[in-house]
Amino acid sequence: MRRLHYHRVDVFTDRAFGGNPLAVFTNGRGLGAETMQAIAKEFNLSETTFVLPPDDPAHDWRVRIFTPGSELPMAGHPTVGTAFVLAREHLIRRDARETTIVLEEGVGPVPVRVEFEGGEPTFAEMTQPLPTFGPVLEDRQSVAAMLSLEESDLEADLPAQIVSCGVPFMYAPLRSLDAARRARPRVDLMERVAEAHGIPPQVFVFTREVEQEGSTVHSRMFAPGLGITEDPATGAASGPLGCYLVSRGVLPAGDIVSEQGIEMGRPSLIHIRIEREGDRVTAVRVGGRCHFAGEGFIEV
């Protein structure tokens, strides 16, 4: 038996029981993919990460990310939360008010900037790949149906579309908070639409009506086909969300705050920064605060 040490953090929140929970194993050496997958399934969190030495010595660490059902090439809250844990455990540089590290993930090198207050990490922000814009989903009735909504619940002036900053998501703009609260995923319909477009069955819904002062959009993300009925905070989807909003002229480039997880009782605030030159997005950054929830051991 091997005794493995893990850390538990809540990501995209500054308090206990908010944000998106994450388990981080800072020493994943010698673990096979099957064991990592089994551990992630055992923890049954949205994601669990395993830290390994980098393939390129110019980088800081390699990170593998697992949902309860599969491995991901990149994800937002695991990247932000893992960087926070590495900083907290003195496994990255801590000699300034902020530092930037590079984590190797399935999409390649991912820069992460970590801010410190009083010598302790408080905020982490990842740089995501530049966006690719996929097809618009023309069948609005099918989009509404896979969310158990009516076509009239969709935002009239914005289309549903597939966008990716490393991981593709279907984006469904809704007209109101009420519609967002009533949304319920239909797995069979989601899988049918996703298969038609060759992407994972995950749908990100948002509305410009918000609950919290200072928020820009209200969001929810459903991925039951990946073992995640609903995700309380989805960093990998927040970058493309910002790109969608800026590219369609809904919001100017700059700072965007997405509130998510409220319907689950785990309120999250995800900070998005989009830079743009002309019609082209030139930088995508997603970050937030983290709360350390505890640590422990598992024997495998």
Structure tokens at 287: 């970050």
Q: Are 96 and 90 in contact (CB under 8 A)?
A: no
Nearest Cα to Cα of residue 45 among 9, 74, 14: 9
Per annotation, catalytic residue among 47, 104, 105, 230: 47
Integer Cα distance of 214 and 14 in angstroms: 16
Q: Are 45 and 25 in contact (CB under 8 A)?
A: no
Nearest Cα to Cα of residue 191 among 222, 215, 163, 160: 222
Active site residue 47: yes
Q: 153 in helix, strand or coil? A: helix
Could you count the other beta carbons within 10 Å of the beta carbon of residue 175? Answer: 18
Catalytic residue annotation: 47
